[in-house]
Every structure is written in structure tokens, then in C-alpha cells.
Structure 1
Amino acid sequence: MLSQNRGYQAANLSTFRADAPSIKKCKDTKHLKVQGAILMVGQTRRSFLKGSAAAASVIGMRPVAALAQTRRMDELIDEDATGLAERLRAREFTQAELVETFIRRIEVMNPALNFMTNSAFDRARLKANTIPLDAPFAGVPILMKDMIDIGGLPRTDESRFMLSNVPERNVEYVDGVEAAGFNILGQTNVPELASFIITNNDVFGATKNPWNLGYSVFSSSGGSAVAVAAGVVPMAHGTDGAGSNRLPPSATGIFGMKPSRRRMRSGEANGTHDVAKTNQMLSRTVRDSALAFSLTESLSGDPFPPVGFVSGPSGRRLKVGLVVDDGKLITTDPEVLEAQRKVALLMQNLGHEVEETPWPVDANVMANAYSNFFGGKLGALKSAVEGATGKSVMESGLLTRFLASNIEASLEISPEEIAEGRAFLDNLVPLFADVFQKYDVLLAPVAPVVAPPLYEHTPDELFSYELSQYVAARLKFTSPINFAGCPAMSVPLSWSADLGIPIGSHFIAAEGQDRLLYELAYELEEARPWRNIWSPFSLKYVPV
């Protein structure tokens, strides 16, 4: 049990007890090149560094260099972005020095975990020491997901078709990120055009889970989640169009928030809001996420008045609906369900009222509606690729076999089926509105499985009905929330005893109730702290 692992602070582990990960029970060590590396959370930092020269080779460093006296543990690793900003304002170090520290973190960890796509190191160096220290984040470096327009930086969406795409200007959301005082250091990995459930693509490759290298972290904000979980940055940007800011945080033990629809500044080049996708940060602490949220939310008041900075929990006690799995589309892993039941007990111990309730969405119908709706949007991509190459999408070489064959299969979807799919998705708004007449929040799994094996499926496979169902099943509890427009969060409260991988808890609230979720997140963070629980492949244990 983690309470016996000297590598963690005992004061923060007493609350985890049986819910905490036992890394020594990890059954999937066949995927890891060194057993000592996955077991290092059970060792002191000194014993790991003395005995794990092989682990250093896995993370891309020569063993001699990894153990050399010139390598030191990162003294800033425990600081969140808010804390780093405070120390920048106190002039303990400069923005330029912090940029170099973060660059070194990337150089050390990316070879093993593959969370990065494009670096913007020179850009960040030029901006360092020019960002006002009175800006809320005072020049703290950040990584952005490679699916948003940043003026002058490539936006590839990890597709060969997009490799030469360089937006001329920021979207409104990125303007807010920079105005908040962040210094953009680079971009993070996603599946090609966010078209699959595992963060893997033919251009940059697969992103690995720092808790167990044989597993993925879902998608599509996978690279950002891994960068945070590995301690490279305290906060990174993500987008959530079907679960992307909740699924990767669940599998990496960090905090992820999906805001209400149209709550944030626009992330689209034309200034509009996507029907499903929202932008927000992934973080180690709730306060980082809440502060970034307050600085990038829309101030228009349409459709909701601004939330502002939520600074702590409230005394309000909530009525919580604990979702009971109906087994449709996929049966949730017993370990995932048991984790949510234990979190429900925690909620009761905190004074909240909890009762069981069925998942309100027919997952089989949802899977078909989701597939038809998005299949109907692929025609424009087909035309663009074929127009650029004069070849079919399958022959063009610009898209993976999976996405190209998905496009071909979508041609069979009729306009009537597309319209029916959209009608079902639109009806999720009143459906969840009715649910939240009875409950303040729902507590559900983030995903029905802990995490997918890294190469369980790859972009080289041809699209099939079975693969479509595979994706939809893993989005069972997240994708309906995007179309309902509700805010939702993944909170790291449990771990898998079998895999040593975190299991997030999915809290969902009514449209516009983002403040309620942040207040609850603070309360859970106080009751069961996760900030100082680090993944085995993180800079908590690896010198830079």
C-alpha cells in the first residue's frame, strides 16, 4: 500500500488507505523495460537513484549522466503555477531562468513519454523577462494542446495534411492565456484530428502513461495530461469535445475540468463556439485551474454571468446521484465501479446526501447518434484532401488508414440518419436539465475502463463498426455531457490496484453551475489530497 511507501509524504497518504495505488501489484510490467522504474514509488529517492541506472536509459539519458553529481532533483517540482508566479514576483528567480528549467524538464522526460509535438523554445525565451510580473501567472511557462490556433506556431492536429498549417493570429482564448501571464513553451500530442480514443498518430507517435508505460492515457488531451502528471509543467491546456479534459486526467491522477458550453472565450478562428468542444486547463491543483478559468472565461454574460475566481469550498451540502451502470454498450470494470462507491462514501462522510440513480442516456443509441453526427462532418475533410492531392483519401497518404477509411465509411450515412443523430444529441439538453432538477451533481465513472493498453488499437487499422463501438464505449460517460452543455470534472481520488494507474471520479452539474463544481473540487482536495502523489515516471524521482 502507498502508506508504506517512503517516497511519499505520509501525512498526505493516510486518507487514501485502501483506495491508494499499490504499484508493486502492477501486472503489466512486461510492457516496462525496467521493473525498478515502475517500483520506484516504493523506494526512497536515494535508493532509486542508486539502483536504477537502467531506468535512466529508458527516459533517454545515459546512465552515467543520470547519476552524475551534476544532476539534481528539481527544487521547484512541488510548486503549482500559482506558487511559481508568487516566487517570480518575489524575484527568487527570473522568467528566463524558469523557462530554461522547463525546457530541461522537457528534454529529460519527453524521450520516454512522448507528450510533445512542436517546441516554441526560442519564442518563449524572447518573451521571458518581458511579461509583467503583476500578471496573474507572471510568466510561468505553459504547454498548449496542438489543436488550437496560436499565431506564428504550427497547428498540425497531428495529421500529415496539416503539417504546413501555421495560423497567422491567436484565437480569442489564446489571447486570454497570454494576457493571464503564461509563456507558451510548445504544443502537446493528440490523436490525428482527435479521431481516436488513444493518443497515438503516425506523425509523432504514441504518448505513454507515466504510471505504467504499457498503457495509454486515452485522448485527446493526452500529451497535456502526461506533461502535467510527469511534473514537466504544473498546468497545460486541453480541449474537450467528448471527454478529452476528463479522460486523460483520470488516467494520470491530475485534475481536469470541462466548462459549460459557451462559458469560455472562443477557441475557434471565426470567434464562434463549437457545439461540443470547450477549452480549459489540466492541472495538479484546483486553485491553478480555477484561476486560469477566471482569466479565460467569457465576460459577455451570454449565456451565463462570469464566475470569477473561485477561491475555496462552500458550506453547501449537495444531493448527489451515484450512477449505477446499466451494462449497455460496455460493462464498467468492477474496479472502476468500486472506486466510485468509495468516493460516494467519502461524500456521505463530508455531509452530502447520496443515492443511486441510473445513467440517463441510452449508450447504444448515443453511440449510433454520435457516429452519424460526426460522420456527417467528414465530407469537408474528404474534399480538401482529394482536392489537394487529386487522389482518394485512402490513396492520398495524408491521412492515417483509420481516419481515411472512416471518411470512406461515412459516405454511407444518409442525411436522414445524420439529422436523427443531431436530434438525439440536442435532446440531451432537456434530458440532463430534468436530471438536475433532482440532483445537484451526478457522480459517475469517467470511463468504464481504467485505461486502454498503449497499442490495443493503432492508427494503421482500418475503420470498422467494431472500432466505432470500441471508441463510443469508452466515451460512454463523457460524450453526452458535451452535447448537454454541462460542466464536468475528473477528480483524482482512486487508483487501480492491478495496473497502478489512477481512476478519476466524474462529477457533473447542470449548465452554468461551474462554480459549484470548483467549490466541491476544493473540498475533495482538502479531504483527500493528491498533489504530492506522483507517477513513477515523473521529475519527482528523476534528476534534471
Structure 2
Amino acid sequence: MISRRQFLLALSSLAVSACTTTTPTFFAPTSNKTLPFDDLLSYDALGLANLIKTKQISAEELLNIIIKRIDYANPTLNFMTNTAYNRARSNLINVNNDQLFTGVPVLVKDMIDVAGMPRTDGSMLFKDRQITKSVDYILGLERAGLNIVGMTNVPEMASFIITDNELFGATHNPWNLEYSTFSSSGGSACAIAAGVVPLAHGTDGAGSCRLPPSTTGLLGMKPSRYRMLSGEANGGHDLVKTNQAISRTVRDSAALFSMTEDKSNGHFSPVGFVTTSLKRKLKVGVVRNIPNSTPIEPEVNKALESTMALLESLGHELVDVNYPIIFDVLMDSYQKFFATKVGPLKALVEKVSGKSVTESGLLTHLLAQNIEQASGLSEEEIQQGVDALNTLPAKFADMFKACDIVITPVAAFAGTRLDEGSYKDDWDEVTSTFILERLKYTAPVNFAGNPAMSVPLYWDKNNMPIGSQFIAPLGDDKLLYELAYQLEAARPWRDKWAPYSLMYPQHLA
């Protein structure tokens, strides 16, 4: 009988041939689906780092194993946009045991600047773009010892509600291949749920570190505004977008948070590495439905009630609170706010193509129509929308006068099929309502600036995960991690595996 180390050495050698290119390349699916698998699927990222530190496996061997996982799982699930195998191999020289994540491979979302890699944003417009300088968030991630091995699929420009685009196609949910992984961090969530990596990067501008984890059975964190190192090329902070991890375990997310928070952000005291569970009882505000919008689905209601019962069993007090939004106002304001983002994009497309946005062929039909419509709004109309959203920080602060933390559904719907919300659709009131109905619990948090998380505590009658959203007061990210540890201990989820994951490789063959 061979030892585990001998098995891993043999396995890792199988992936070496995948690292022959000298620059990052777009993902090319492999047809070889007959190779054996490793026995490291149960390890989280910190666990893998410990194997490297204790010399049970080398960083190079682990990199080869992760490459093997990518090559096997991606043809079925389509979570990758590009790979950087040789870049990752060259970075092995920087691995040392002082790093928290010593040499552990990681995937990042194809919407952030990483030196030496493409950044497409899922769009034909940027299919040839190459990045020369990493943003601060990526530098922090790499200082932590994580080794970037590729990028994950996104909707075009993070628009719309499912991870699908004209350039790379749709990402499939490992729990049901007919379903999406929801919004723009969907490729990262898919890779973790499939067992390819235990930790991946996501961005959250309206719910994308919460919606994809909810529908893939993972933990997703959205930090407070200004909390993290900048993910923007200019070193600034987007009003609504934050960067953070999607993970299988709480400690992985908390560890990466500690390595990528901006400890001199000027707004909040540093959190550091949260390692302990909650030690006090909370008053938990419960939000069920939002007036004048579609009620939550029955299975989502069951998920919420199940989580409420768990919280009560842990000694927490539940109180009803009102979510401080009006759906019609949110939908109108959100679309007007989007108009603030599209002016430069519209000008770029027209300059590059010499044609209108809708005629250029550089953007998909849905996004082009959306941009054209948004560009017709007056400055006064746009400002009205922005002003309405700017009232949310104060309204959220008022909501927390009645409670310590708030629980809501992540979305009113358990999931979204891949044949819903296509980029081929027309942009009209039906489409916009479809999207905002799925963002109505998460997007307001981004405009308020509060931290929030999606925790996987329920699986429905069809064995699809449904997360619960927890929102904390502004700046109290630590509270979320402490509660997450408590929930993880009370109702563990890390050993729940999707049917189309590497735990069941025969289903991916």
C-alpha cells in the first residue's frame, strides 16, 4: 500500500504538463476525465497551509493538485475565465512559513486587477485587456501567502442576476446543473462548492458575496464600507463595492479578512483575526417580507424559520423589525444610480467602435440596451435616485436601535434557473423588476455600508441550499464572525457536498 504522500506526489506530477505556457491563458477545457483524485478535499485553506508548513506536502505539489481539480471540474461547471498556472508556479519562490496561507492556491474573480493577468469583466469589450499592476487588495491577499492560479466567471460587468456572458458562457450550479450560481461572484462560489478550492475571492456591489454563497451552500462575507484594502486601480473605494472571501469554513474567511483589512482606514478600528465564537446573547431583528414586492417563496420562508429556531435554541431573542426600504423606490433609485456608472463606459464603446452602444457588438444586447436607456436620464433624475439611496445609512442606523443584529432572507427566491435572466433578453420593466426582486434584501446593505453575511443553514426539499442573511451595525464586522463561528458549531455545513463536486467525480465525467 502506498502512503498518502506517495499518492499525492504521483497525482501532482499528472498536472505538470498543464503549466507549459509562459503567460496567463484563457481556459482551454481538457477532455481527460479519467485521472484519480486527491484526498485533501476535506481540508480548508488554513488546513492546507498547515500541511505545507509541516512538510506533509509541498506548495508545488498542492498547486499541481489544484490545477488537476480545475482541469477536471471546469468542462462541466464552467467557472473559469482564464488560468495563470505558470504565474502561480513562478510565485512559489515567495512561499514561506511565516505566511498565514503559506502557498495555498486561490482563485480570484475576473473583476479585479492582478499584475500579469487578463481582466475581462466577462465582456467582449475587454477580452484582450492585460493588467500590469495589482491593486492593494490583491497585494494583501498575496502577502498572506495565497497563490493566484486563475480567475472565475462573472456576468458581463457584474450586471444582472446570473453568472453568464457571451464571452465564456454560463456557470452551472454544482447542486443542480440547470440552475445558476446567482450573481457576479458565481464563478468563485461554484469553484468552492465543487471542491476545487476551499476559498476564493469575491466582490459585492449589490449582494454578490451573499447571493452566490446562498445558492451553493457556502459562507459569504460583505465587509463594512471602507474596511478593506482598496480593490480599485486608483487606490480609492467604490461607494457600494467591497472585496472579501467566499469560503467553506468561517476561519478561512476570518483569516483572509485579517490580512486584507485596511488597518488605517480612518473609519474603524482594526478587527484582526477573529478566532472565537460569540459569548453573549443577542437581540435579533427579523425581517420577513418587503411591502409592495413579491413575497418570499415557501422554501425560503422555511429556511428563515429554521434559522430563527436555531437562534432561539442558542439563547438569542427574536424581535420583528421593518426593513427600511420601499420596493418601488428602491427599484427606481437603483436604476438611476446605475446611470452614474455608465457614462464613461458608453463613451469608451463609442470611441473604440465608432458606433452606438447597441450597434457596436462589444456589449451584449441586454447591457447595451440598459446603458442606452440610462444615458437618457437627466442629471436631475439621476440625482433624485442618488439622494434617495443616500438616506439608507441613517435608516439602517435607526433599525439597529431596536436590535443587535438583523436577519433576512438572502433573496426572496431559492435560486434562479439558467434559462432565466439571460443577457440575450430585452431590457424592459419586466427584466428590471425580475432583477431587483432578487436584489432587494442585499443591495440596500451596500448603499447603507453595513457588513453582512450569508450563512448556509438550510437545504430545501430538492437538496438545494438556501442561506440566511445577517446584517450588523456599521463597522461591527467582528460580531458577524463571532456569530458565524457559533452557527457553524451548532449546525455544521462544511461536510455537505454538492452532487456535481469532486467528492463525486463520477458525476462530472
Name the TM-score, length of structure 2 as normaliser.
0.92
Asked if the contact 2:189/2:216 (under 8 Å) is kept, the reply is yes
Aligned-residue CA RMSD in angstroms? 1.3
Amino acid at match of 1:167: I
SS class of match (1:396): coil
Asked if the contact 1:376/1:413 (under 8 Å) is kept, the reply is no
CA displacement at 1:332 relative to structure 2: 1.1
Partner Cα distance (2:37, 2:108) in 1: 25
Amino acid at match of 1:523: Q
Partner Cα distance (1:484, 1:340) in 2: 23
Please show how residues 86-97 of structure 1 align to structure 2 within 5 Å.
86-97=50-61
Partner Cα distance (1:261, 1:381) in 2: 24
Aligned residue number for residue 504 of structure 2? 541
Aligned residue number for residue 5 of structure 1? none
CA displacement at 1:72 relative to structure 2: 3.1
SS class of match (2:321): strand
Does residue 390 in structure 1 map to residue 367 in structure 2?
Answer: no
Partner Cα distance (1:417, 1:395) in 2: 26
Partner Cα distance (1:298, 1:525) in 2: 26
Aligned residue number for residue 512 of structure 1? 475
Partner Cα distance (1:328, 1:256) in 2: 28
Deviations 1:405-430 (A, max 9, x none): 11111122221111111111111000
Asked if the contact 2:290/2:327 (under 8 Å) is kept, the reply is no
Select 1:529's aligned residue among 480, 492, 505: 492
SS class of match (2:336): helix
Amino acid at match of 1:462: D
Amino acid at match of 2:314: L
Select 1:171's aligned residue among 124, 127, 135: 135
CA displacement at 1:88 relative to structure 2: 0.3
Please show how residues 139-288 of structure 1 align to structure 2 within 5 Å.
139-288=103-252
CA displacement at 1:129 relative to structure 2: 4.6
CA displacement at 1:437 relative to structure 2: 1.4
Amino acid at match of 1:529: P
CA displacement at 1:126 relative to structure 2: 1.4
Asked if the contact 1:323/1:444 (under 8 Å) is kept, the reply is yes
SS class of match (1:233): coil
SS class of match (1:335): helix
Asked if the contact 1:73/1:541 (under 8 Å) is kept, the reply is no
Please show how residues 385-534 of structure 1 align to structure 2 within 5 Å.
385-497=349-461, 499-534=462-497
Deviations 1:50-82 (A, max 9, x none): xxxxxxxxx9767xx64xxxx434200000000
Partner Cα distance (2:246, 2:315) in 1: 28
CA displacement at 1:206 relative to structure 2: 0.3
Amino acid at match of 1:431: K
Partner Cα distance (2:365, 2:345) in 1: 14
CA displacement at 1:324 relative to structure 2: 2.2
Asked if the contact 2:99/2:144 (under 8 Å) is kept, the reply is yes
Partner Cα distance (2:370, 2:395) in 1: 30
Which protein, 1 or 2, shows the higher relative CO under an 8 Å CA cutoff with sep ≥ 6? 1
The range that moved more, 204-213 or 499-508, is 499-508
SS class of match (1:457): coil
Amino acid at match of 2:157: L
State the percentage of identical aligned residues.
52
Deviations 1:362-402 (A, max 9, x none): 12111110011112321211111001111111111100001
Q: Tell me how many residue pairs correspond in the alignment.
A: 479
CA displacement at 1:301 relative to structure 2: 4.2
SS class of match (1:489): strand
Asked if the contact 1:60/1:112 (under 8 Å) is kept, the reply is no
Partner Cα distance (1:150, 1:395) in 2: 31
Aligned residue number for residue 18 of structure 2? none
Asked if the contact 2:290/2:325 (under 8 Å) is kept, the reply is no
Does residue 313 in structure 1 map to residue 277 in structure 2?
Answer: yes
Uncovered stretches (5+) of structure 1, i.e. residues with no partner: 1-58
SS class of match (2:414): coil
Amino acid at match of 2:500: F
Amino acid at match of 2:411: A
Partner Cα distance (1:316, 1:424) in 2: 36
The range that moved more, 410-419 or 395-404, is 410-419
Asked if the contact 2:219/2:456 (under 8 Å) is kept, the reply is yes
Amino acid at match of 1:358: N
Partner Cα distance (2:235, 2:351) in 1: 27
Partner Cα distance (2:161, 2:491) in 1: 29
Change (3 A) 1:326 1:200: same
Partner Cα distance (2:137, 2:144) in 1: 11
Structure 1 runs, 4 residues or longer, greater than 6 Å off:
none
Aligned residue number for residue 123 of structure 1? 87
SS class of match (1:377): helix
Asked if the contact 1:258/1:489 (under 8 Å) is kept, the reply is yes
Aligned residue number for residue 20 of structure 2? none
Partner Cα distance (2:281, 2:476) in 1: 15
Aligned residue number for residue 303 of structure 2? 339
CA displacement at 1:457 relative to structure 2: 2.5
The range that moved more, 528-537 or 356-365, is 356-365
SS class of match (2:412): coil
Uncovered stretches (5+) of structure 2, i.e. residues with no partner: 1-28
Aligned residue number for residue 361 of structure 1? 325
Partner Cα distance (1:521, 1:411) in 2: 42
CA displacement at 1:219 relative to structure 2: 0.7
Asked if the contact 1:143/1:236 (under 8 Å) is kept, the reply is yes
Partner Cα distance (2:30, 2:147) in 1: 26
Amino acid at match of 1:426: N
Partner Cα distance (2:376, 2:185) in 1: 30
Partner Cα distance (1:177, 1:205) in 2: 28
SS class of match (1:232): coil
Partner Cα distance (2:454, 2:354) in 1: 44
